[in-house]
Amino acid sequence: MDRGTSLNSFPGVGTAKMKALARLGLVTVGDLLTYWPRAYEDRTRVYSISDAPEAEAVCVSALVAETPVTAYIRKGLSTTKCKIVDHTGNVQVTFFNQEYVRRALTVGETYIFYGVIERRGSRLTMTNPIFEREDKARFTGRIVPIYPLTAGVSNNLLAGMALRAVEECAGELPDRLPASLRVGHALCTMEFACRNAHFPKDQEALAVARRRLVFEELFTLSLGMSFLRARRAGAEGPAFPKKITEEFVGLLPFVPTAAQRRAMEELKKDLTSGRPMNRLVQGDVGSGKTVVAAYAAWLAHAGGYQTAMMAPTEILAHQHYETLNKLLSPAGIRVGLLTGSLSAKEKKALHAALAAGEVDLAVGTHALLSQGVEYANLGLVITDEQHRFGVGQRSALSSKAQATPHVLVMSATPIPRTLALLIYGDLDVTVIDELPPGRSPVETYLVGEDKRQRMYGFVRKQVEVGRQVYIICPAVEEGETADLKAVTAYAKELAEKVFPDLRLGLVHGRLKSRDKEAAMAAFAAGEIDVLVSTTVVEVGVDVPNASLMVIENADRFGLSQLHQLRGRVGRGEWQSTCVLVSSNRSPETRERLKYFCSTTDGFQIAEKDLELRGPGDFFGQRQHGLPAMRAADLAGDTRVLKQAQDAAAELLEADPGLAEPEHRGLMAAVKRLFAEDGDIFN
């Protein structure tokens, strides 16, 4: 066996298992070697029954004293029970729905049981323990890895394969960190890291291994970000004319806030400088970022340049198109909309207009990036809610310009300070820290199922006084058929039984974009009272008349996502409300949701999210368009982050192109890390 060996050479791994494994990105032994555990179980100590601490998972060595007996409690529920003993006592063991245990456990044999021992009266019990025969134990006496799983792949399978893979091939992994750097930063070798990340000798060895892996990952990411930055730094950008800002303000139907003005002045400085701007405008939902984007496009137009503005969804692109067209066409700016749902003919016409310079501002989805879209004179690229776009997608759009265009990134996602450094490492930041006047913060309540009827009554009341309502159900995005059924069935019930007299609409990710947009447009036009939707309304959608947001199964959302959703209301003059519906009784969940009710500060919420759920959420969903991280746990690793960044800067100073033979492996790793994003290093 070597690094390239296919996983199907393991016993019990056939075509079906290979398919399941592939979903985890696992095809070869090498893939498995770098598939890091998400947690560990400490099975180093084996206790006797009377010595075992209660209420925490432990290993006990005990003999099966009686044949396990299965009882069928009701449909879909069986219990299989037996007694296990050692010389100090006995434990009643219960397995739920695991009838195979009857065959797997042999009376008179000794096994290691790993589980939680609980005291019930005078009896000791254990529920659903993991077990292995003592004389054939592979995992007892070890710290055992727990891997991220998928349907059809058990942790036992992965751990079993990893054990052999590590034993035979850990030394084959290439060590990409230059030796001097490794020694300088007191990092262990890749082989040590691999062995101890999977099967740590002890907690200390695990910490050493993790530090190395995290360092390497952040180091590689930092190198990539530095390449991006360096590529821009030397470039020349278009210099837009220094127009009087008041001229633009005259186009607005309201007075800009001080924060908006500040942002416009900062942009103006960049955009008129002749150096390519690369700036993030970060402002909470509803803070009025669109106006700032419009201002930048207005300046571009004054300089004779085109602007491309990318939105993450068609709905949003459409809405931006409407807003910007209304705002900017009086100033002679020709705005065009390019989305995937245009007909071939419409597309062609728009492409021609862009190439001929007959459209000044193109608003669209990623269709703006597609091949064959040419611009006469692209000077500014705006991406809204950039976390949905990859770093590389941003730069792909930039490469459509003759000179390096200015880049403006707008985001409503507050990023915890610890992450901002990394995520926006290649951007300057402007913060809009003020909401337009006359907004009162959205009031938020948490209710259980028992208040459902009252909640419906509240919905009705809002509609009666002329407002509109969102009802959000958890995600229907990719492939979640069960959820899709749930949301359509729920919408049907609302339409037929609860609100037969109200005008309801339904929007979810699986709808054709035409239908989605029609429903959104109808809602925006006030033709729909209640919009039942999945999170497709999450980003950016603006319907000021909507004053109530109901979020079903609120416990299924992260805090940051809830914050995004809540931002859809409270955008007009009306006092707005957000109702979280959840009957989840877990104390952590309730604490989380209660916390959400208590504040509307997006940055605080993001910090709390990070604290509660860890950065996996920020990286896991790839919501910032960064390459996926596999090892880095940034909440605990900000120190390593700083070290890795400094080391990357130092290395690039010595070898800016990573051209030396010793660094080629690193360069390849950087490219691979950003691989999904295509040719960003060209």
Q: Note the residues at the interface with ligand ADP (CB under 6 A).
A: 254-257, 260, 283, 285-291, 412, 436, 540, 542, 544, 571
Question: Could you tell which of Mg ion, ligand ADP, none binds residue 357, using a CB distance below 5 to 8 A set by kind?
Answer: none
DSSP type of residue 331: G
What's the closest the beta carbon of residue 159 comes to ligand ADP, in angstroms? 46
621 φ, ψ to 5°? -85, 0
What's the closest the beta carbon of residue 570 comes to ligand ADP, in angstroms? 10
User: Are 329 and 335 in contact, with CB atoms under 8 Å apart?
Assistant: yes
CA distance 156 to 390: 35
> Considering beta carbons, is residue 210 or 268 the nearer one to ligand ADP?
268
What's the closest the beta carbon of residue 326 comes to ligand ADP, in angstroms? 10
> Considering beta carbons, is residue 256 or 540 the nearer one to Mg ion?
540
User: Are 84 and 134 in contact, with CB atoms under 8 Å apart?
Assistant: no
Question: Could you tell which of Mg ion, ligand ADP, none binds residue 651, using a CB distance below 5 to 8 A set by kind?
Answer: none
CA distance 153 to 273: 56
> Considering beta carbons, is residue 288 or 558 the nearer one to ligand ADP?
288
Question: Could you tell which of Mg ion, ligand ADP, none binds residue 623, using a CB distance below 5 to 8 A set by kind?
Answer: none
What's the closest the beta carbon of residue 286 comes to Mg ion, in angstroms? 8
Chain centroid to Cα 385, Å, comes to 13
What's the closest the beta carbon of residue 323 comes to Mg ion, in angstroms? 9
Instruction: Pick the closest to residue 569 from 286, 332, 235 (CA basis).
Output: 286
Specify the 3-state DSSP secondary structure of 552.
Answer: coil
Question: Could you tell which of Mg ion, ligand ADP, none binds residue 286, using a CB distance below 5 to 8 A set by kind?
Answer: ligand ADP
> Considering beta carbons, is residue 224 or 286 the nearer one to ligand ADP?
286
> Considering beta carbons, is residue 540 or 572 the nearer one to Mg ion?
540
CA distance 325 to 335: 6
Question: Could you tell which of ligand ADP, Mg ion, none binds residue 287, using a CB distance below 5 to 8 A set by kind?
Answer: ligand ADP
Question: Could you tell which of Mg ion, ligand ADP, none binds residue 260, using a CB distance below 5 to 8 A set by kind?
Answer: ligand ADP
Question: Could you tell which of Mg ion, ligand ADP, none binds residue 96, using a CB distance below 5 to 8 A set by kind?
Answer: none
What's the closest the beta carbon of residue 427 comes to ligand ADP, in angstroms? 17
Strands 130-133 and 110-120: antiparallel
Contacts with 286 (C-beta within 8 Å, 6 or more apart), sequence order: 435, 436, 439, 567, 570, 571
86 φ, ψ to 5°? -135, -170
Question: Per CB under 5 A, does 540 bind Mg ion?
Answer: yes
> Considering beta carbons, is residue 488 or 575 the nearer one to ligand ADP?
575
> Considering beta carbons, is residue 281 or 359 the nearer one to Mg ion?
281
> Considering beta carbons, is residue 539 or 579 the nearer one to ligand ADP?
539
What's the closest the beta carbon of residue 388 comes to ligand ADP, in angstroms? 14
Among 96-104, 164-172, 337-345, 536-544, which window interacts with Mg ion (CB under 5 A)?
A: 536-544
Position of minimal CB gap to ligand ADP: 288
What's the closest the beta carbon of residue 487 comes to ligand ADP, in angstroms? 25
What's the closest the beta carbon of residue 372 comes to ligand ADP, in angstroms? 30
Classify residue 37 by burial, with Cβ atoms within 10 Å: 0-12, 13-18, 19+.
buried
Question: Could you tell which of ligand ADP, Mg ion, none binds residue 640, using a CB distance below 5 to 8 A set by kind?
Answer: none
What's the closest the beta carbon of residue 263 comes to ligand ADP, in angstroms? 11
> Considering beta carbons, is residue 140 or 319 the nearer one to ligand ADP?
319
CA distance 240 to 300: 6
Question: Could you tell which of ligand ADP, Mg ion, none binds residue 254, using a CB distance below 5 to 8 A set by kind?
Answer: ligand ADP
Is residue 361 within a helix (H) or strand (E), and if so which, with residue range? strand 361-364
> Considering beta carbons, is residue 33 or 316 the nearer one to ligand ADP?
316
282 φ, ψ to 5°? -110, 125
Residue with tokens 């309201």: 254
User: Are 308 and 389 in contact, with CB atoms under 8 Å apart?
Assistant: no
CA distance 110 to 651: 56
CA distance 432 to 284: 7
Helices (H) and strands (E) in the chain, counts: 23, 23
Cα radius of gyration (the chain): 29
- Interface residue list for Mg ion (CB under 5 A): 540
